[in-house]
Structure 1
Amino acid sequence: MKPKTLLFGSAIAFAATSAYAADASAVPEPEPVGYVRVCDAYGMGFFYIPDTETCVRVSGYIWYQIGATNDDGLVVDADGNVIGGDTPNYQGFLPGGWNKSTRPRVNIDARSETEWGRLRAFVRFQADWGNELPGAFADGPVSTDQAWLSLGGLRMGYTESAWAETIFDVTNGGSFSDGQLWYGDQERHLIQYNFGADRGVFGVVSLEDDALEGRGFIPDAAGLIGYQAEWGAVWGRLAYDESYNEFDDSGFGAELGAQINLTRIGGEIRLMGWYADADHMYGTQSSYAGISGGSGNAEWSVLAAYNQVFTPKFSASTGFQYFNDFYEALSDEKTGLNGYSADLSFVWLPVDDFEVRAEANYDKVDTFDGSVAAFLRFTRFF
């Protein structure tokens, strides 16, 4: 190469390199990225939303269940009156074959601390489908099963009625099975105040939607007071149904409950009793609802249940509930009919976050044949 050519080429290369370096130095520095951090303030599974002090947890499960019943249905006369047949089965299974169902559930729980107390939001999405529901071979429709918010002790939104469940888990449900027998399970729009903690005195006062579709301004009300310690807990509930029929009749229900923890042997005992003055929303409900067309309340009901944890991988429970004097549908007229319900549950955890559950229920109302329903369920938690 000639000297002039070499010199000219070197000049061009130097100019190009200088221009590139100038362009590169002009590129702005990237903004710092907020990385996800573990939040251990509220237990396992929470993490901070980047660049905030809000902790969030996503959890849920998917189950597949297969069940069956010997319930062949009710016997009805020419006038449409129920005159006999089988007590409606506890699980609501269809007769004559296997009942399959699948349920996915996703919970989103967000929490942070403020000068007014803990700020929380909770939403639950789930879908249920199977051959006991219309559209057995269609996709399961996703719905918002619960959605509520709270600040300190104030809580509001759509969730379990305080008559059935509260934020104090020891008071929730009836027996130790998944179905938990009959305890007035229901969800409501509500606004409530909660006080206390997992040890000592606790309570709830709840104003709840009475489903009057705008007719009237007086809500239903439910309250709970209890005491919890290492040995277990005791509690009482009282609820008022402002209007439960077309005549705007009102009524009330009451409950007393206790749980005893037998820590040394891995056992738990629950004893519960209910009173309802009519067939309104604040009773236990029961299989008799499928006969009467109402809620299925009895004047009195008592329940006893026992759960035994044999190993960290296996447990079993059983429960029995008695109903004294069912009411006619949506009235305070007594039928003179009694009934009872019983359950048996086995739970096996072969590996972490995977559960195999088998349950059976027996329901019986006077003058009707008893019914058995049972299922086997596989659940993956996350």
Structure 2
Amino acid sequence: MNVKSLLLGSAAAVAAASGAYAADPVVVVEPVATNYVEVCDAFGKGYFYIPGTETCLDIGGYVRFQVDFVTSPSDQATWDVFTKAHLAVSSKTDTELGVLTGDIELNAYAYGDGTSSKVELDQTYLGLGGFQAGYFTSYWDEGLIGEIDHLSGNTKFNSMRYVFLGDGYVAGISLDALTPDMVNYTGSNDMAKLGVSGRVGFKAGGVGMKLDGGYDTYNEEGSLRFMSSFALGPGSLNLGAQYSSGFNAYANSFSWFSGTGYTKPTNLYSEWAVAAGYALKATDKFTITPAVQWTTAKADNMSDKNYWEAGALFDYTIVDGFHAKLNLRYADLPDPISDAFGGWFRLQRDF
């Protein structure tokens, strides 16, 4: 064995003993692309694309602190306080059949005693184009400006609705599931009853008008409601009127008949009601809205009752998205109910 062979063999032995191997190939790790949130402006302000999809999402809601107060029949003031959180999540996707929509909205309440609270489903529905199905507020949920008027009864139903929106006008029809308590059904069959409601309306320039109708197939009675708005001077004038042929699910709500020490008569409903309000834009941040309503109420075993109520809403924008509101109202109620004065104070942060 020559010297060269000996050296090579020794080097190989040393390498094996030391665990040395040929160098591994260098692996270059590619940077992971960051999923940035992209604004979606196809459906209005607030929407953004869910990363990796064509679906746009909007998350919003409000936090409200409110103090309610009202005089009792004995002229003693009573008051209560609560805090409310509203969370709304809406998804929209543009498809060949129109916009595909999904909406979920929740309410959470904490009441004045500090120990009671609740969480409830405010509304949830799906939609495709002009079609909507789910649990949501109906056209009857809308009122005049000022929050004084009461021109409707139940306003939320499990419904199927089709809405046609044109350039400045709207037309829609809805099939509404009416629960037994809405129609005052006391039989053994607790299945939902059927209601049919709809709207036609338009808005052009500073003028807007809406005609709503609702028919309760269980009670075989219906209601009509007309609302209008006019840009007038430094504000907006709203006028409304409502008529019901009899007790039905769309016209049975009376805020002053409850909570004033008076038991509400059976099948109480509003036969006629007219209301007006004017929103005066006093400054860029401050709006004053006086309003008034006159109502004829009917019920089983009760003669017609006429009453009127008036009040004002004061709305001040502290900063963008944060409002302070004060609602004051007085009601000259029919005997034997004492006249009532009340309202609420509200702080609300919208987002």
Aligned CA distance change for structure 1 residues 239 and 123 (closer, same or farther; 3 Å)? same
1:182 and 1:286 in contact (8 A); partners too: no
2:245 corresponds to 1:277:
yes
Unaligned residue ranges in structure 2 (runs of 5+): 1-10, 181-187
2:308 corresponds to 1:340:
yes
TM-score, structure 2 normalization: 0.83
Match of 1:123 in 2: 104
Among 369, 374, 380, the residue aligned to 2:338? 369
2:91 corresponds to 1:110:
yes
2:130 corresponds to 1:153:
yes
Which runs of structure 2 are paired with 1:16-165 in the superposition (5 Å)? 19=23, 22=25, 25=27, 29=30, 32-72=33-73, 96-131=77-112, 136-138=113-115, 140-162=117-139, 164-165=140-141
Match of 1:298 in 2: 270
Farther off after superposition, 276-285 or 338-347: 276-285
- Residues matched between the structures, number: 327
Match of 1:239 in 2: 214
| Runs ≥4 residues deviating over 6 A | 15-18
Code of the residue aligned with 1:306 in structure 2: it is Y
Cα deviation, residue 289, structure 1: 4.4
State the alpha-carbon separation in 2 of the partners of residues 294 and 59 from structure 1: 40
1:39 and 1:46 in contact (8 A); partners too: yes
Cα deviation, residue 295, structure 1: 6.0
More strand as a share of residues = 2
Match of 1:323 in 2: 295
Match of 1:168 in 2: none
State the alpha-carbon separation in 1 of the partners of residues 161 and 283 from structure 2: 38
Match of 2:163 in 1: 194
1:109-128: per-residue Cα shift (whole Å, max 9, x none)?
Answer: 11111111111111111112
1:191 and 1:206 in contact (8 A); partners too: yes
Aligned CA distance change for structure 1 residues 378 and 124 (closer, same or farther; 3 Å)? same
Q: What secondary structure is seen at the aligned counterpart in 1 of 2:44?
A: coil
The alignment's C-alpha RMSD in Å is: 2.9
Code of the residue aligned with 2:99 in structure 1: it is R
Cα deviation, residue 309, structure 1: 1.4
Cα deviation, residue 258, structure 1: 1.2
From the CA coordinates, give the structure whose radius of gyration is larger: 2
State the alpha-carbon separation in 1 of the partners of residues 265 and 302 from structure 2: 14
Report percent identity of matched pairs. 25
Cα deviation, residue 217, structure 1: 7.6
Match of 2:6 in 1: none
1:118 and 1:152 in contact (8 A); partners too: yes
Q: What secondary structure is seen at the aligned counterpart in 2 of 1:336?
A: strand
Code of the residue aligned with 1:242 in structure 2: it is T
Cα deviation, residue 46, structure 1: 0.9
Q: What secondary structure is seen at the aligned counterpart in 2 of 1:363?
A: strand
2:71 and 2:78 in contact (8 A); partners too: no
Cα deviation, residue 147, structure 1: 0.4
Aligned CA distance change for structure 1 residues 146 and 17 (closer, same or farther; 3 Å)? farther
1:304 and 1:320 in contact (8 A); partners too: yes
